[in-house]
Structure 1
Amino acid sequence: MEVCKEITDKVLNVKLNERAVTGNTYMNIKSAGTFKLALVGNPNVGKSVIFGLLTGKYVTVSNYPGTTVEVSRGVYKGYEGGIEVIDTPGANSLIPLSEDEAVARDILLEDYDKRIVQVIDAKNLRRGLLITTQIAEMGLPVLLVLNMWDELLDRGMNVDINALQDYLKIPIVKTIATHKVGFRELFHSVPLASVPDIRINYGRYIEEGISRVGKILNNLMVVNDRALAIMLLSHDESLERKLKEKLPEVSLQEIAGIREDVQRHFSNPLGYVISIKRSHYVDSLIEKVTTAAGKEAETRPFMRGVFFFFLVPLTTFLIGYKLMSLLMYAITMKLQVSDVLETVLELSAGGIMSLYFTLYLYKNEFKTRSKITEVLGRITMHPIAAFPLLIIILWIVYKWVGEFGSGVCVDFLENKIFGSAETPSDGFDLCVYIPFLKKVYTFTHINFEGINYYIGLLAQKIMSKDNLIYELFLNAQSGLIQVGLTYAIAIVFPIVGFFFLAFGIMEDSGYLPRLGVMVDKTFKRIGLNGKAVLPMVLGLGCDTMATMTTRILNTKKERIIATLLLALAVPCSAQLGVIASVLGSISGIYFAAYFLIICSQLFFVGYLSAIILPGAPSDFIMEIPPFRMPKLSNIFIKTFYRVNWFMKEAVPLFVLGTLVLFVATKLGVLSFVEKIGQPVIGYFLGLPVETTRGFILGFLRRDYGAVSIFKVLEEQGVGHVIDPKQLLVSLVVITLFIPCIANFFVMIKERGAKNAFLMFAFILPYSILVGGLLRIVLRLF
């Protein structure tokens, strides 16, 4: 333990000054159960890790009243009787621009005794202290936690904690949350939280406005009137709606008049003027307490040489070679190109890209002694390199999630572990692969016949297979256990788990914010901004999960557009895996055509939605964190909490959706829908009428629908050879077709029943229309 502590102190480069627990402090801790603890901070500052360390397993997640934003609550058992800990959504300002920020602010406005633990990214003190100024104006006691302290020192910086404490008059703790460093000091400092000694003068006109609004408010809420007045002068619409319950309409009109009076003295919006005043105060404070800690640690010369003169040339050569290989694959489907010429072009493309980036990085990065992580960070935003790199990253994510997660793991869990209630599985082998022998050595065979099979045997001792109760739970098409729970646990769980691991690596490394910046201009054309890349990328894992995350977008219009596009044109990894496998086995040119059609529909519908739907687009503000090596402990912690959150949300919806499907089947609704759909499928889309059931199955599970359609086309094909044009039409339609039933229920929950049914009513005929037009085009060309 002593050795570990010495190592930790060297990493921090400063002693953490553990405070002794005095008698008075102990009394404060003993009586602390009367207050609540609210964790506040910017996004991606380690707040969720600290929340997990404080609460452990004592966590509940629920929607904040009147919103779709979920708030985590837990109990910290460190105090006698325990205290409630609330993890507020990440916010960049307490004058909200999004629903998440509004919830974070509203939690601070709630009328109860609270202490604020504000978590700040130590290397980005400015962004955190801007929120501290707002908490100070509210008059709330706060403890500052400067997290990621090791990264601050790695960047050659240091913060004089004692000086910052003297200026703000509040306790400040340094932590490395992912390594539990500084956690004890945080615990002992909570009762010492106090109101920051901050008073910003906003100038004569604004101060007069604050005073006039404060007289109208007259101690209306638990926080200071000054804070509320500043929010109202900044035109905080969510706060105005909240105050309608507490103030008469005439008072609200008087406040609006005061705001207009003050605004006449400024050319810029008052919110902007107030933010600039805060920024000037914070900048002057940071200048006083931030110093350089000496020369920044440089990467070892040998590692720099390996990176710049081996890894960069090799990686860029392989990227160029692979991209040209994909291009040549498409070209050779139409033109006869000799193998020699094809190889020469591929090697030339790889060589040119390798030479270009090696020389570019040598000239711009190697001579400046830049760290490898800094170089990687800049490459991810390079106007040329960023997009090939994005293709490679998405390809790796697809291999990890789409093939290994939704392929190997799902197949094992679904067929071997859960199996069927009707027939036993054939068990599985315990084996190991020996690389140098290139052989698989089997230890033993496990004769496990499947969870569902054993449940079925048990149920058959009580009732027959024709019993309604048996069918309700174990029916092969719509049983609550056979389909609902098996789908949620054996299929969705591994896909979500593997995707969250990949997502965590991209997030923790700092790649996701860079990706947001890259696509911001493109997304603006479809009514979104760079922030929407997060749910769109998540949609490749599971659209149900991604729809829940659209709440991070700032406006209602953006959330509706993102939800519509996810339901329409973003295939989940399970469906994409099936489609890629099926089309790839037929022809690469058809998969390329499929990809182009789906992307074109995403942008076309997004563009129309941006024009038709009312509302103005929001500004895109995203800080670019330093590129860094992801911490596995941090990734696993985030993955655990995200998967746990998703399964709690999604499993009930899967079971409910399966129940609805079972009832619809028994009432003959599905048979009726199938009969109605057959003419459209047969005549307009030119597909065998038997594929109608595949489209209906797609409402339960998208990849089931794709597989069902593929099998029908294979059986109906001449000599069991599939017509590739029919296959392309059917897979485009099943992708654009109505969302799966679990996603549809989440759409109702997130966007409301009216918006969800309107999207449903648009997607259904639109997908068929696109399929019909595609059939005509394919027949003509």
Structure 2
Amino acid sequence: MSVLDRDKYKVALVGNPNVGKSVIFGLLTGKYVTVSNYPGTTVEVSRGICSGLGGGIEVVDTPGANSLIPLSEDESVTRDMLLEEYKKHVVQVVDAKNLRRGLFITTQLAEMGLPVVITLNMWDELLDRGMNIDVTVLQEKLRVPIIKTIATHRVGVSALFSSIPNAKVPNLYVDYGKVIEEGISKIEKILQGNTTVNERALAIMLLSGDEVLEEKLRRKFPDPAFVEIHSIRNSIQAHFGSPLSYVINIKRANFVDTLVKKVTLNLKKEKETHPITRGIFFYFLVPVASFFMGYKLMALLMYLISSRFSLNGGLIFMLPLVVGGISSLGFSAYLYLKEYKTKSTIAGALGRITMHPVAAFPLLVIILWIVYKLVGEFGAGTCVDFFEEKVFGRSLVPSGGFDLSISLPFIHKTYIFTHINFQGFNYYFGLLAQKLVDKDNIIFELFLNEQSGLVQVGLTYAIAIVFPIVGFFFLAFGIMEDSGYLPRLAVMVDKIFKRIGLNGKAVLPMVLGLGCDTMATLTTRILNTKKERIIATLLLALAIPCSAQLGVISSVLGRVSGIYFALYVFIICTQLLLVGYLSSKVLPGAPSDFLMEIPPFRMPKVSNILVKTFYRIHWFLKEAVPLFMVGTLALFVATKVGILSFVERMGAPITRNFLGLPAETTHGFILGFLRRDYGAVSIFKTLEEKGGSGGINPKQLLISLVVITLFIPCLANFLVMIKEQGAKTAFLMFAFIMPYSILIGGILRVILQQFP
């Protein structure tokens, strides 16, 4: 890229996450794009040349931000780029249907004194929702160019292109109240004449406790200046019960709300639910659903109790029915009085139910149960078995083909249409390879070895095993997201998560971790601070079993005793809370504010869910498959040079003497480093063989499954941890998790020995 004239301005694309900035960036710059990390960070920044503006203007695509008073590394990079000392015009990309979020940033751009062009993107989606924005009124109030665009269809892009040279500073001024305004004025006087940007913006950021900005400014100002600034901030804080950053955000949000009300038009009234539909919902669906929740939860409880104590068969049958009936009557009556009589829409009623302090939690249990059935049993069980055993198969053994059939569940009959004589990709690839080299050749083993071949294990694991799991999980995740349930779930768990140094936003990677920890670790990027990302990454590696592993464990423990599965869940949950709490106390850094917009509850759009699922799977495979291949190669090398055998011999005494398990289970723990559910199955088979006619020892099984869940993360997840958090942090986590999991297993062994 050529060096640009310093007298020319640059164009900075700014906006909230997922508003279409990257699409507009591509349309402005074409193919002349470079991607690099911003200095001092791991955040990628795209730069390109827009050749049609003044002979060539540099365009920078800044990371998505919800505020320019940063709560995350991405937001810090965006803020720092806007504070850099060069001329710039800002193209602010706003999601038209989320005008409030966009104008929140516009107020801060105005405070910084930056010339802005606003593009209201996704205009078609705004109209689809029956809404409109009076652009003329908004333009009169802001006095900046405002363009309506649909970037994915190139609508409005030429108008945006021609308006960039006419960017102006938005005509917005937020009054923060007498006490804060006096503090802003005092800090402005301290900073006056020594900065290249608007002192008011810097003063507001410093009052909000922006430590990164303060560190940068210390290079220009003497320490006494910051002693005075801290004194001003403390004196203002004394007037408020909430943190000053929160107060400032609320003042700004109230200002934006007033502006949004003036320019937002509702083209159609909220569609009233038809009386018959409302009647079906409140008089049939609600009683049936609440009965199902009460029955299912009590049946689960009775199952766990009966596995430990002898209970009357009639009681086991009748009590869930009684509890289900009571919950059905009680909840139906509550909804009838609270929602039906007040003419609430079905969507409005569902939105409030999902945040109800009592009803929301049993509803959450049922939703997680449905997700587990879809992902854990069907995705990680049926689909994975089919892809792994039939579609990919083994390199030296034919898979036997598969049947095209249909099963009728109510009459328990299966009709087979035809048999497909396909022996598996790996088998055919193995036959081809054997025409070139012997099966004992190192090259053949590198690719098709049963334990560590790049194709047999790496590629098969990434596509045949992980693909069905993440595919179905992203499908379920998309439904929860598009309906508006996920933001409500984040609000529900915020208080619990604050105890472990996180906030409600962390529920997203945690829920994703139940599908695949590798994928979930990649999404910890959404968390605001480095401390939160480290805690979430640690907890995902330690105490969140992926759906494949959870499916094996629940099946194995369920066959032995329901009470042991309940103990397993209790132990893992307590470890998650304990380690999270201790991490929040040990790791440096302050917690971030939790701000999340709650969208209306609505019927998910199938097209939205399918598109999101497709792109998320594409993103995951693009990120993860190379890591699986690298990890498998490392495993192959470690196997050939004898490292794994050495580790197994070293670990056997600890497994036997400290955990009280057969030494052979050590192999299962090591296998879990490749794939957690394989490790669990290997341990189960070993204990089954050692148990002989006396059967498997349930205490040994519980200890081993707790340890393998808490044990070191799988290889792919570990490589992602290195990618996201750096090698030093990842190895420190590794060094903590391995002995900690063994320690918990030893303590559990001692406790269980006290009971017959």
**TM-score band w.r.t. shorter chain:** 0.7 to 0.9
**Is 2:601 the counterpart of 1:627?**
yes
* Cα distance in 1 for residues equivalent to 2:751 and 2:593: 40
Output the TM-score relative to the length of structure 2. Answer: 0.88
* Cα distance in 2 for residues equivalent to 1:237 and 1:62: 25
Select the residue among 361, 368, 380 that pairs with 2:342.
368
Kept in 2, the 8 Å contact 1:150–1:176? The answer is no
Task: State the 1:63 CA deviation.
Answer: 5.8
Residues 204, 368 of structure 1: alpha-carbon distance in 2 compared, 3 angstrom cutoff = same
Match of 1:358 in 2: 332
Select the residue among 561, 574, 577 that pairs with 1:603.
577
Residues 503, 50 of structure 1: alpha-carbon distance in 2 compared, 3 angstrom cutoff = farther
* Cα distance in 1 for residues equivalent to 2:704 and 2:247: 56
Task: State the 1:191 CA deviation.
Answer: 3.2
Kindly report which structure 2 residues correspond to 1:225-624, keeping only aligned pairs within 5 A, or say none: 227-228=201-202, 230-232=204-206, 234-241=208-215, 243=216, 249-251=219-221, 253=223, 256=226, 259-260=229-230, 263=233, 266-267=236-237, 271=245, 275=249, 278-279=252-253, 281-290=255-264, 295-433=269-407, 439-624=413-598
Select the residue among 165, 177, 191 that pairs with 2:162.
191
Kindly report which structure 2 residues correspond to 1:120-135, keeping only aligned pairs within 5 A, or say none: 120=95, 122=97, 125-135=99-109
User: 1:431 is paired with a residue of what secondary structure?
Assistant: strand
Kindly report which structure 2 residues correspond to 1:636-647, keeping only aligned pairs within 5 A, or say none: 636-647=610-621
**Is 2:117 the counterpart of 1:142?**
yes
Task: State the 1:288 CA deviation.
Answer: 3.4
**Is 2:181 the counterpart of 1:206?**
no
Task: State the 1:254 CA deviation.
Answer: 7.1
Kept in 2, the 8 Å contact 1:116–1:142? The answer is yes
Task: State the 1:742 CA deviation.
Answer: 1.3
* Cα distance in 2 for residues equivalent to 1:779 and 1:135: 65
User: 1:719 is paired with a residue of what secondary structure?
Assistant: helix
**Is 2:724 the counterpart of 1:750?**
yes
User: 1:249 is paired with a residue of what secondary structure?
Assistant: coil
Select the residue among 169, 194, 204 that pairs with 1:216.
194
Task: State the 1:270 CA deviation.
Answer: 6.5
Select the residue among 681, 698, 701 that pairs with 2:672.
698
Residues 306, 274 of structure 1: alpha-carbon distance in 2 compared, 3 angstrom cutoff = closer
Name the aligned partner's letter for residue 376 of structure 2: G
Question: 1:419-473, CA deviations, whole angstroms, 9 ceiling, x for partnerless residues?
Answer: 1112121112223446787643333222222222222222222222222222222
Name the aligned partner's letter for residue 517 of structure 1: V
Residues 227, 615 of structure 1: alpha-carbon distance in 2 compared, 3 angstrom cutoff = closer
* Cα distance in 1 for residues equivalent to 2:31 and 2:623: 17
* Cα distance in 1 for residues equivalent to 2:34 and 2:412: 48
Name the aligned partner's letter for residue 93 of structure 2: Q
Task: State the 1:234 CA deviation.
Answer: 4.2
Residues 277, 727 of structure 1: alpha-carbon distance in 2 compared, 3 angstrom cutoff = closer
Match of 2:141 in 1: 167
Q: Give the alignment's Cα RMSD to 1 decimal.
A: 3.6
**Larger mean Cα displacement after TM superposition, 446-455 or 673-682:** 446-455
Residues 524, 224 of structure 1: alpha-carbon distance in 2 compared, 3 angstrom cutoff = closer
Name the aligned partner's letter for residue 155 of structure 2: R
Kept in 1, the 8 Å contact 2:379–2:468? The answer is yes
Task: State the 1:326 CA deviation.
Answer: 0.8
Kept in 1, the 8 Å contact 2:246–2:593? The answer is no
* Cα distance in 1 for residues equivalent to 2:27 and 2:473: 24
Kept in 1, the 8 Å contact 2:407–2:415? The answer is yes
Task: State the 1:487 CA deviation.
Answer: 1.0
Kept in 2, the 8 Å contact 1:136–1:197? The answer is yes
Task: State the 1:255 CA deviation.
Answer: 6.0
Name the aligned partner's letter for residue 192 of structure 1: S
* Cα distance in 1 for residues equivalent to 2:29 and 2:392: 33
User: 1:216 is paired with a residue of what secondary structure?
Assistant: coil
Q: Gaps spanning 5+ residues in structure 2: where?
A: 1-8, 176-180
**Larger mean Cα displacement after TM superposition, 326-335 or 51-60:** 51-60
User: 2:168 is paired with a residue of what secondary structure?
Assistant: coil
Kept in 2, the 8 Å contact 1:154–1:296? The answer is no
Kept in 2, the 8 Å contact 1:40–1:104? The answer is no
Name the aligned partner's letter for residue 412 of structure 1: F
**Larger mean Cα displacement after TM superposition, 333-342 or 739-748:** 333-342
Output the TM-score relative to the length of structure 1. Answer: 0.85
* Cα distance in 1 for residues equivalent to 2:56 and 2:374: 42
* Cα distance in 2 for residues equivalent to 1:584 and 1:638: 35
* Cα distance in 2 for residues equivalent to 1:208 and 1:608: 40
Name the aligned partner's letter for residue 744 of structure 2: V
* Cα distance in 2 for residues equivalent to 1:684 and 1:260: 54
Match of 1:16 in 2: none
Question: 1:513-572, CA deviations, whole angstroms, 9 ceiling, x for partnerless residues?
Answer: 111111122222222221211111111111111122222222332222222111111101
Name the aligned partner's letter for residue 679 of structure 2: G
Residues 149, 196 of structure 1: alpha-carbon distance in 2 compared, 3 angstrom cutoff = farther
* Cα distance in 2 for residues equivalent to 1:411 and 1:64: 44
* Cα distance in 1 for residues equivalent to 2:198 and 2:246: 21
Task: State the 1:779 CA deviation.
Answer: 2.7
Residues 116, 438 of structure 1: alpha-carbon distance in 2 compared, 3 angstrom cutoff = farther
* Cα distance in 2 for residues equivalent to 1:298 and 1:282: 29
* Cα distance in 2 for residues equivalent to 1:410 and 1:148: 41
Task: State the 1:101 CA deviation.
Answer: 2.1
Q: Gaps spanning 5+ residues in structure 1: where?
A: 1-33
Residues 743, 672 of structure 1: alpha-carbon distance in 2 compared, 3 angstrom cutoff = same
* Cα distance in 1 for residues equivalent to 2:380 and 2:46: 29
* Cα distance in 2 for residues equivalent to 1:556 and 1:258: 29
* Cα distance in 2 for residues equivalent to 1:401 and 1:50: 36
**Larger mean Cα displacement after TM superposition, 718-727 or 730-739:** 718-727
Kept in 2, the 8 Å contact 1:164–1:289? The answer is yes
**Is 2:740 the counterpart of 1:766?**
yes
Residues 88, 509 of structure 1: alpha-carbon distance in 2 compared, 3 angstrom cutoff = farther
Match of 2:13 in 1: 38
**Larger mean Cα displacement after TM superposition, 225-234 or 43-52:** 43-52
Name the aligned partner's letter for residue 120 of structure 1: D
**Is 2:638 the counterpart of 1:668?**
no
**Larger mean Cα displacement after TM superposition, 532-541 or 96-105:** 96-105
**Larger mean Cα displacement after TM superposition, 74-83 or 526-535:** 74-83
Match of 1:118 in 2: 93
Question: 1:101-153, CA deviations, whole angstroms, 9 ceiling, x for partnerless residues?
Answer: 2234345456686652422363x543331211122344143224265876789
* Cα distance in 2 for residues equivalent to 1:52 and 1:427: 46
Kept in 1, the 8 Å contact 2:13–2:21? The answer is no
Name the aligned partner's letter for residue 418 of structure 1: F
Residues 103, 374 of structure 1: alpha-carbon distance in 2 compared, 3 angstrom cutoff = farther
User: 2:193 is paired with a residue of what secondary structure?
Assistant: helix
Kept in 2, the 8 Å contact 1:313–1:358? The answer is yes
Question: 1:10-37, CA deviations, whole angstroms, 9 ceiling, x for partnerless residues?
Answer: xxxxxxxxxxxxxxxxxxxxxxxx9767
Kept in 2, the 8 Å contact 1:508–1:631? The answer is yes
Name the aligned partner's letter for residue 249 of structure 1: R
**Larger mean Cα displacement after TM superposition, 710-719 or 105-114:** 105-114
Name the aligned partner's letter for residue 141 of structure 1: V
Task: State the 1:208 CA deviation.
Answer: 5.9
Residues 564, 708 of structure 1: alpha-carbon distance in 2 compared, 3 angstrom cutoff = same
Task: State the 1:211 CA deviation.
Answer: 6.1
* Cα distance in 1 for residues equivalent to 2:246 and 2:499: 26
